[in-house]
Amino acid sequence: MDKPVKMKNNVILLIALLYVTFGVSQNPIFTNVFTADPSPHVWPDDPNKLWVYTSHDEPGSNNHYGMTGYHAFSTTDLVNWTDHGRILHLENVDWAESHAWAMDAAYYRGQYYLVYCMKEAGIGLFRTGIARSDRPEGPFTDLGYVKGVEFGQDPAIFIDDDGIPYLYWGHDRKCFAAELNDDLMSIKPETYVDLTSQLTHVFEGPWVHKKNNKYYLTYPGLTPRRWPEKMFYAVAENPLGPYTFKGVFIDDFEGQSGTNHGGTVTYKGEDIMFYHSAWLSGGLSETRSSMADYLKYDKDGNILPIIPSKEGLRKAKRTKVTLKLEAEHGFAAGGALYNVFVDTWIKGYSGKGYVTNFDNPYDHVSILAQVAKPEKYRFKVRYASPDGESNHDILINSHKYSEFIFPQSKDFTEIDFGIVELKSGDNLVRIFKKDWKPSEGELAIDYIKFEQVFEDELQTIKN
């Protein structure tokens, strides 16, 4: 081989290595907030959109006991994601006191359901809760807990092709399953099975999916007295088993957390495994981050090993998350409506409506935005002000950025208020009318957005 050709090949190899090392980094999949236990789904009413429901780790936490809520994410391209904010919180569940751990979701008979676990107040027993919404992004309203499920930790719901719903749950080296009744609020006791002996090394967190008429039960397990968890799987001909143990498909990997948990989905013809690590926090097991890699099978239907990588799904240089927070959700999503109300008269809103009636001084809507680390975001508001210009103040964590002027707009439109900085943890955004300063228009707030802005993008903005 002559020298120029060899040099050219070396350059190509170097570029390829740089692309892999620095060009593509799609894991963790969400970098705006600490998430765990990802539950991926494609709903039948919109096969072009992928949804992922997660539990939420509080920044700076050194335990899992303080987990209090859940988030929902969506995408149409596996690159640009929307964080829909908090969809259910401990405060919205009357019967529970703590431990908002793993969850799953389902679309059943025209409604969306969140199937989750929390500890019952007063007795500290894990229960499997059911919450419902008429929209996939929630917020979800608690319906109570599933009867007949004791120690209902880490629930997963599987609805078979014939429409029959099944519930799986597991904790402390045990795993159980049963068929649910039609209202999802209780199991059929005659169908209850203990799957523990069929699932070698099982510890918690079952998940069931169907592939080529076989039922795959994936779960985190522990080899004898050895942390961290690995991901194992078993296969059956029927949803309630018996299951045949197959082996491990996610082994130990650098930067993993003590636990692992996740689920699988088929999206646009590709099988994807979602799980979690501790990559975003630099190895802290109590502040985890969701991951995604392709799930592949051999010709006999065995799951091929997944080796977690920074590249992940390899769709782009990185994923980008936008927080889209509906104003009308109020307390259900961690915010509040103070002397304002939800209306639907102006058409073109997203979600269930918009917030209006900012008539008196300090009438306001507050909206919760949760993030993992102190970072800069581009702040946008979608609004309408049909009759004229509206003058309002916006506080972010009690910091007034300036008076915000909303130009007249008969239709809903987004206005870009530039770059703001959010702190780690909970950020409260308040939009309110200050004093008696007159406004010509009646302001209607549809939603707010915080778009991730990365360091290289900030440099471009500065230049």
Q: Is residue 197 in some structural domain?
A: yes
Residues forming a β-bridge with 377: 420, 452
Shared-domain flag, residues 28 and 47: yes
CA distances from 207 to 38, 39, 88, 453 (A): 11, 9, 21, 35
Lookup: tokens for 399? 């910091």
Shared-domain flag, residues 49 and 188: yes
Q: Is residue 250 in some structural domain?
A: yes
Contact between 53 and 104 (Cβ < 8 Å):
yes
Shared-domain flag, residues 313 and 329: no
Q: Is residue 7 in some structural domain?
A: no
Q: Final residue of a domain: which of 318, 352, 368?
A: 318
Q: Is residue 44 in some structural domain?
A: yes
Which pLDDT score, from 0 to 100, does residue 224 have?
86
Shared-domain flag, residues 143 and 284: yes
Provide the 10 A C-beta neighbour count for residue 432: 19
Q: Final residue of a domain: which of 318, 335, 367?
A: 318
What's this model's pTM, rounded to 2 decimal places?
0.93
Rounded distance between C-alpha atoms, residue 347 and residue 357, angstroms = 16
Which pLDDT score, from 0 to 100, does residue 14 have?
33
Contact between 364 and 431 (Cβ < 8 Å):
yes
Shared-domain flag, residues 415 and 441: yes
Q: The domain spanning residue 232 has which CATH number?
A: 2.115.10.20
Ordered alpha helix ranges (H), 146-202: none
Q: Is residue 173 in some structural domain?
A: yes
346-351 long-range contacts, CB within 8 A, separation 24+: 346/384, 346/386, 346/411, 346/412, 346/444, 348/384, 348/411, 348/412, 349/412, 349/444, 349/446, 350/326, 350/382, 350/446, 350/447, 351/135, 351/137, 351/326, 351/446, 351/447
User: Domain count of the chain?
Assistant: 2
Rounded distance between C-alpha atoms, residue 320 and residue 338, angstroms = 33
DSSP at 40: E
CA distances from 79 to 47, 83, 167, 378 (A): 17, 13, 31, 18
The H or E element containing residue 391 is strand 390-396
Q: Final residue of a domain: which of 318, 336, 363?
A: 318
Encode the chain (463 residues) as per-residue pLDDT tens digits.
Answer: 444 334 334 433 333 333 343 457 899 999 999 999 999 999 999 999 999 999 999 999 999 999 999 999 999 999 999 999 999 999 999 999 999 999 999 999 999 999 999 999 999 999 999 999 999 999 999 999 999 998 999 999 999 999 999 999 999 999 999 999 999 999 999 999 999 999 999 999 999 999 999 999 999 999 987 899 999 999 999 999 999 999 999 999 999 999 999 999 999 999 999 999 999 999 999 999 999 999 999 999 999 999 999 999 999 999 999 999 999 999 999 999 999 999 999 999 999 999 999 988 889 999 999 999 999 999 999 999 999 988 888 999 988 876 788 999 999 999 999 999 999 999 999 998 876 665 566 899 999 999 999 988 776 666 5
Q: Is residue 5 in some structural domain?
A: no
Whole domain around residue 99: which residue ranges? 12-318
Shared-domain flag, residues 86 and 140: yes
Shared-domain flag, residues 229 and 214: yes
Rounded distance between C-alpha atoms, residue 265 and residue 168, angstroms = 17
Shared-domain flag, residues 261 and 362: no
Lookup: tokens for 209? 């999916």
Lookup: tokens for 349? 């809103």
3: Cβ contacts below 8 Å, ≥ 6 apart:
none
105: Cβ contacts below 8 Å, ≥ 6 apart:
39, 41, 51, 53, 112, 113, 114, 115, 136, 157
DSSP at 121: T
Shared-domain flag, residues 291 and 260: yes
Sheet holding 336-338, edge to edge: 336-338, 364-371, 425-432, 390-396, 399-406
Shared-domain flag, residues 281 and 179: yes
Please classify residue 434 by burial: count the beta carbons closer than 10 Å to its beta carbon, then call 0-12 exposed, 13-18 middle and 19+ buried.
Answer: middle
Q: The domain spanning residue 335 has which CATH number?
A: 2.60.120.260
40-75 per-residue burial string, b: 16 or more CB within 10 A, e: under 16: bbbeeeeeebbbbbbbbbbbebeebeebbbbbbbbb
Shared-domain flag, residues 310 and 338: no
Q: Is residue 6 in some structural domain?
A: no
Dihedral angle sign, alpha carbons of residues 361, 366, 372, 378: negative
Which pLDDT score, from 0 to 100, does residue 172 have?
92
Contact between 220 and 204 (Cβ < 8 Å):
yes
Shared-domain flag, residues 268 and 379: no
Contact between 134 and 112 (Cβ < 8 Å):
yes
Rounded distance between C-alpha atoms, residue 328 and residue 275, angstroms = 32
Dihedral angle sign, alpha carbons of residues 253, 255, 261, 265: negative
Residue found under tokens 């405060």:
91
Q: Is residue 3 in some structural domain?
A: no
